[in-house]
Chain A
Amino acid sequence: MSILGTRVLRTEDPRFLTIGGNYTEDLVDERLTGAVHVFFVRSPVAHARIVGIDPSGALAAPGVVAVYTAADLADLPDVPPILPTMNQAMKRPPLARDVVRYVGDPVAIVVTEEAYQGEDAVELVDVDYDALAAVVDIDESLAGETLLFPEAGTNVAIEYGSEADLDSKLFDGCEVVVKHRIVNQRIAPAPMESRGAAAVWGDDGRLTAWIPNQGAQGTKGAMVGMLGIGAADVRVITPDVGGGFGAKFGADLEHVATAWVARKLNRPARWNETRYENLLGMTHARAQIQTVTVGGTRDGRMEAYRLEILQDCGGYPKIGGLLPSLTILMTPGTYAFDRAESIAKAIVTNTTPVGAYRGAGRPEATAAVERAVDLFAAEIGMDPAQVRRRNLLPPFTEPHQTKFGAVYDTGDYEAALDRVLEAADYEQLRAEQAKRRANGDPIALGIGLSSYVEVTGGGAESGEPHENALVEVHPDGSVTILTGTSPHGQGHETAWAMLASDVLGIPMDKITLKWGDTDLIPRGGGTGGSRSLQQGGSAVQKASRELVDVARTRAAEELEANPDDLQFDVATSAFAVAGVPGTSVSLAQLAEHERLFVETDFFQPGATFPFGAHVAVVDVDTETGKVVLRRVIAVDDAGVILNPLLADGQRHGGIAQGAAQAFLEEFVYDADGNPMTASFADYPFPSATEMPSFELVDMQTPTTYNPLGAKGIGEAGTIGSTPAVQNAVVDALSHLGVRHIDLPTSPQRVWKAIQAARSENA
């Protein structure tokens, strides 16, 4: 029996749970002997002109090797915005040169002999700032009174469509039109392992850089570009990575600066940031203001939908400026609107730059449309489950093309909704809610729904989505797999070994997975956008099968038989001649005289579109506004599941992060751009005590785009849970007249919404 589809335990865990991972900060490598330590002087003000930098105090401090400013890094190119269609004047120098644009913007580098000396020395670099007005609010940025890049002439980095493109007749004929401005708040990815780097230049002039990342090849590409050197001169190695969530793709200026210092001083160099620096320096996420308008009939048919997006890019336009395009792509979600349209504007503010984070643009689309559906349902007084069922796209097995350019591969959104409602016992929950309301219970019960479809495996490289793998059988019967994907918690070692073992008949404990070394594996798209299994896993399976074909030819020679007469027995990992007992040769034996390996690429015809439906149940204390999450019931259909244990893990983590956005997390700045949540005491990162046990419902609708039938699962939980929890909180208070509460639904915000509704009703 195949092990595919079974709950194989994670082979990574004994190591992580005993001796622990080998992270960049802990790395012991003789090439790093005598490394200097790199520290960054970061701006304490949100927006200011740099008048002068006096390093003398730091230079006199113990252990300080050097202090560098932007002038010293003149040999490094400025980094242009991530897309050529963005305003090209919004370039970022390798260190803030004349102007700082957010609190945390690196201004100078301090290099010390020992790590502990750096934190003292950075405080001794005297930077003279001439404060400029800080632009923190999105509307303020749009007004354009203060420009972050005066040479750009605007704070708008990029526009996707414009008001002029909107259809003035979109809502004509609608009996009901509801419009609301909603906030998808700024949050911090906050991986357990913060950022770091170790770098050394060899005598051959090549850079070796150890960087926690989500794809060594992409990180190498970014390093090459930012260092302005040849691709052959850089080797990136990926140690164990303690979480990425999208924010560890590519390379940041601190990684480049660490490599630059190593070259400048001709010594290895290391950099590791503190949690405080991580919360300011790593890209933030979400940060959209959305205006949703939905129109339809009184009996529940949604006819038209409009989404207008304002995306906050932070101080420099990075991936944040790209996110609205993904939000727009997924505008209508699972619904069959007759008419839908969306536009976006991405602007800069004096805050930490915004980047990718678990879902990257798609959770924002789902949050918008799911809130819109509930607003519409409340307006016409219909059960939100009923409104959804009435408007979902019907099941389809042939790809469904939306007007936004998405091609949904397979989907059955109504079945997902039905399953989750049944598992939640929705009718009983509504009855319980009605009972509490009748009894005047101060603890209100809220039931929130979401239906979602998302896009995964869109391809990290140009062209068709694809990934490569190399599978080699060794004479001792062991197997090595090289993959262009890059694990940082997902469980690739287990999953890829399952796939190879299933084909080759070699036990999983004899299979070793390698990744994250650009000399060993020059090509690869990394792990992100929920692409790994569908492309990287399919490549491993394809390579394994092709290896058996190669071995068959070899075995035919060895056994002097016709290849067609050979049978490969997975149980023994050996070929035998049909009908001739006692003659067999194993894959391991076939590797004795000549390497037995296959390197192959798997191409997928397009992105896949996982979907699902969530129900969240909350208690809302109407006297205090406190939200307690009681249940999350989730259908996350990601096609055929290779290992339910790994898939469950992805769903658990995703749901927790998405729920945390709904009722806990928010990165807050004051009006002057000072961060108010730069530690875990103030940034309400969730713990297990804030989460219930999640109820996961199985549903598997295969995709035809890859032989595994698999779609992505990494981001699904995050996408479905945020709107479900938010809708649950609003639902709990709907009888009081509350129609919307912005994220996160913090106690004070909930209480104020109750107060406002009560005074309006009074």
Chain B
Amino acid sequence: MIPAQFDYVRATSAEHALQLLGEHGDDAKLLAGGHSLLPMMKLRLAMPSVLIDIAGLPDLSGVRRDGDDVVIGALTKHGELAASEILEREAPLVAHAAGLVGDPQIRHRGTIGGSLAHADPAADLPSALLASDGWLELQGPEGTRRVAVDDFFTGYFETVLQPDELVVAIGTPRRMGAGWGYEKFTRRANDWGIVTVATVGGRVALGNMGPTSLRARATEQALARGASIPDAAELAAEGTEPVTDLHADGEYRSHLARVLTRRALTRAAG
């Protein structure tokens, strides 16, 4: 498994990375943890001609408080999220989901920015951040902009991130003591979720129930109306069109979404 030929260049700053992105355009890919990109390159599903290595950029890593938010550098690794005391206290859903990504090797290399930019609907962090009402800070040639996670994912492995932009930070509201729940249904511990459900503060996000992480809006609305958890959870798959794959057909996925939503909400309420 050897990737097709590519050039490699190491960025020395965010600005340098943006400059290189500008030069190489669509042919370039940013390399952070590389744990989604490199397997795709080895399988030749991705054949970028240039890799721009941003893994060593300073100031894009770490977890800190900023007003009402917790702000996470885009290069922060899953393992660091899982071990973060700040997240543990103020955004435990994110820490918990990060601790379930892949296996220890992957968590030691993979980054939160990479996971969100990759936009795999089955991944853990997109749904966790969606449920958390999080946001992303994107830096481009014209400066930075903030995008809500709600508006970030546009399709299967697609986001509003422009080819000349870089994810620099991810934020999530501080929710000390808020109930949360995360259910990940897999056959093996290190698999992607067949369906995942994340919930906190009355928001419910579904993973692998469509081309992107999705809000279970019918469930959220029912909860807001005061419906019971079982009743609200029954609505979890409404409006979704889950795919059929090796592990699950659409009917079974919808069923899992309902069961897992009930369990996640029960956990959050407990």
CB <8 Å contact, A748 and B248 = yes
**Cβ–Cβ < 8 Å partners of B44 in chain A:** 123
Does A275 make an interface contact (CB < 8 A)?
A: yes
Q: Once the chains are docked, how many angstroms separate the CA of A689 from the CA of B191? A: 11
With both beta carbons as reference points, the residue of chain B lying nearest to A679 in the complex is identified as B43
Instruction: With both chains docked as a complex, state the minimum distance between the C-beta of B46 and any C-beta of chain A, in angstroms.
Output: 15
| Chain B 184-219 per-residue mask, 1 if CB under 8 angstroms from chain A, else 0 | 010111111010000000000000000000000000
A120 with B246, Cβ < 8 A, contacts A623-B259, A689-B189 known: no
How far does the Cβ of B94 sit from chain A's closest Cβ, in whole Å? 23
Pick the contact of B188 from A116, A120, A274, A687 — CB < 8 Å?
A: A687
For chain A, residues 252 to 310, give those with C-beta under 8 angstroms from any C-beta of chain B. 274-276
Contact residues in B for A679 (Cβ distance below 8 Å): 43
Residue in A closest to B246 when the chains form the complex, CB atoms: A676
Interface residues of B in 71-129 (CB under 8 A from A): none
> Does A751 count as interface, using CB distance less than 8 angstroms?
yes
B residues near A120, Cβ cutoff 8 Å? 4-5
- Chain A 149-175 per-residue mask, 1 if CB under 8 angstroms from chain B, else 0: 000000000000000000000000000
Q: Across the interface, do B246 and A677 meet the contact criterion of CB distance under 8 Å?
A: yes
A668, CB-defined interface residue at 8 Å: yes
Task: Give the chain B neighbours of A747 by CB distance below 8 A.
Answer: 185, 187, 194, 247-248, 252
Among residues of A, the one whose C-beta sits closest to the C-beta of B256 is: A624
For B189, list chain A residues within 8 Å (CB).
687, 689-690
Asked if A101 lies at the interface with its beta carbon under 8 angstroms from chain B, I say no
A549 contacts B by Cβ under 8 Å? no
Considering the complex, give the chain A residue whose CB is closest to the CB of B249: A748
Count of chain A to chain B residue pairs whose CB atoms are closer than 8 Å in the complex:
54
**Distance, CA A174 to CA B192, complexed state (A):** 50
B255 CB-CB contact with A under 8 Å? yes
Which residues from chain A contact B248 at a C-beta distance below 8 Å?
A: 747-748
Q: Which residue of B lies closest to A683 (CB)?
A: B246
Inter-chain CA distance A120–B43, complex, in Å, is 12
The answer, among B1, B246, B255, B259, for a CB contact under 8 Å with A668, is B246
Interface residues of A in 663-698 (CB under 8 A from B): 664, 668, 676-677, 679, 681-682, 684, 686-687, 689-690
Does A275 lie within 8 Å of B185, measured CB to CB?
no
Interface residues of A in 377-394 (CB under 8 A from B): none
Nearest A residue to B186 via CB reads A626
Give the complex CA separation of A142 and B120 in angstroms: 42
Contact A664 B188 (CB under 8 A): yes
Query: A752 on the interface (CB 8 Å rule)?
Result: yes
- With a cutoff of 8 Å between Cβ atoms, the chain B residues found around residue A676 in the complex are 246
In the complex, the answer to whether B247 meets A748 with C-beta atoms within 8 Å is yes
List the A residue with the shortest CB-CB distance to B192. Answer: A681
- Contact status A689-B190, CB under 8 Å: yes
Residues of B within 8 A of A748 (CB): 247-249, 252
Evaluate whether A690 and B246 lie within 8 angstroms (CB atoms) in the complex, with A116-B2, A276-B1 already known.
no
Expressed in whole angstroms, the Cα–Cα distance for A690 and B103 within the complex equals 13
Q: Is the CB of B252 within 8 A of A746?
A: no
Q: Is A599 an interface residue (CB 8 A)?
A: no
B43 contacts across to A, CB distance below 8 A: 276, 679
From the candidates A668, A687, A746, name the one contacting B190 in the complex (CB within 8 A): A687
- Given that A276-B1, A624-B256 are contacting pairs, would A690 and B188 also be in contact in the complex, using a CB cutoff of 8 Å? yes
- Residues of chain B within 8 A (CB-CB) of A123 are 44
- Interface residues as binary, A10-30 with B (CB distance below 8 Å gives 1, 0 otherwise): 000000000000000000000
Binary A-proximity of B1-45 (CB < 8 A = 1, otherwise 0): 110110000000000000000000000000000000000000110
Q: A275-B1, A748-B249 are in contact. List 20 more A-B contacts (CB 8 A).
A: A120-B4, A274-B1, A276-B43, A624-B185, A624-B259, A664-B187, A668-B246, A679-B43, A681-B192, A682-B246, A684-B187, A684-B188, A684-B191, A689-B188, A689-B189, A689-B190, A746-B187, A747-B247, A748-B252, A752-B252
A interface list, Cβ under 8 A from B: 115-116, 119-120, 123, 274-276, 623-624, 626, 664, 668, 676-677, 679, 681-682, 684, 686-687, 689-690, 746-748, 751-752
Q: List 7 A-B contacts (CB under 8 A).
A: A119-B2, A276-B43, A668-B246, A682-B246, A690-B188, A747-B194, A751-B255
